Amino acid sequence: MPTLKGVTCDLYVDDSRAEEYGMTVHDNVCTVWVAAIENKEYGFEIEVDPKQTGADAHMLSFWADGQELTGNIMGEGDNTISVHEVCIGVNDCGSQVWRPLKFGKLETEEEGGLELDEDAAKHVGILEWSICRCERVWDSDTQPEPLYFESKNSINEKSVKGRAVSHCTELGDSFVVPNQPWLEAEPRDPDETPFVRFRFKYVSIDLLNMQGFIQRPEVSFGPLWREVVSLRFAPLVSRKTQERNIENRSRRRPGTRRKLLGELAEQEKKKKPRA
């Protein structure tokens, strides 16, 4: 992902930076297409340049398939952040419970499945980060609200009719970490118009291919292939013409005359009827 207004956001799948396709930039929104692979974990690396953003602190919000999953605050001096999992709450022992992000297979059902309205359906298959600049940051005396996660792995086909969707976001197995400090901030930019947005539209490799984002390699027919074709159809031309063609080839490629004449003789033997 290119740097937009001093902010860079890259998607990683299994610790490898994802290949991006069809990038567009409009005002403060950068959009790319990426390939989703079922059951593969994904995450993000985000970097800000305070000199370009004009702020020392930043608030980040992450949305997957139309649902906000996490919010992060980068205080003064924190210019990079790595997000590969989300906090879903605090257990009875006071430890935070986290779950990794991963791609899941999206199934459409003729009858049943999750029914979405038009506004909710258009966000399926999209990962989005919104970044706002902050005026001030302080330590919070409260814990994060529990996250209720609703998977979009089964959707009524009428909800996404006409849209290219194949995958959704799932959460992996949970793990606990000791209670960590939580920050709060006063944003400078309104939620409706953040400083920048990064959108990752994710579908299967096959759908990327169908939409023309991935180009199939061109097939090249080299000299060897042309030679095979000429020998294949050699019986259709006269013996004299074949020998003349062999002589011409041997001048360009020394050492091939004997081999080609031998192949021609073998063809002649096969053509003769057995006694």
Based on the domain organization, do 22 and 123 belong to the same domain?
A: yes
The 10s digit of each residue's pLDDT in 23-48 is: 999 989 999 999 999 999 999 999 99
The 10s digit of each residue's pLDDT in 50-73 is: 999 999 999 999 999 999 998 888
Based on the domain organization, do 227 and 205 belong to the same domain?
A: no
Q: Is 72 within a domain?
A: yes
Give the structural domain span for 46.
7-210
Based on the domain organization, do 192 and 252 belong to the same domain?
A: no
Based on the domain organization, do 150 and 237 belong to the same domain?
A: no
Q: What is the pTM of this model?
A: 0.75
Based on the domain organization, do 129 and 257 belong to the same domain?
A: no
| Average pLDDT over the chain, rounded to an integer | 82
Whether residue 222 has pLDDT greater than 50? yes
Q: Is 85 within a domain?
A: yes
The predicted model gives 75-97 an average pLDDT of 89
Strands 16-17 and 85-90: unpaired
Based on the domain organization, do 202 and 114 belong to the same domain?
A: yes
Based on the domain organization, do 93 and 184 belong to the same domain?
A: yes
**143 vs 236, which has greater pLDDT?**
143
- Looking at 166, 189, 210, the residue that finishes a domain is 210
Percent of the chain with pLDDT over 90: 41
Q: Is 265 within a domain?
A: yes
Q: Into how many domains does the chain fold?
A: 2
The 10s digit of each residue's pLDDT in 176-201 is: 998 887 888 888 998 889 999 999 99
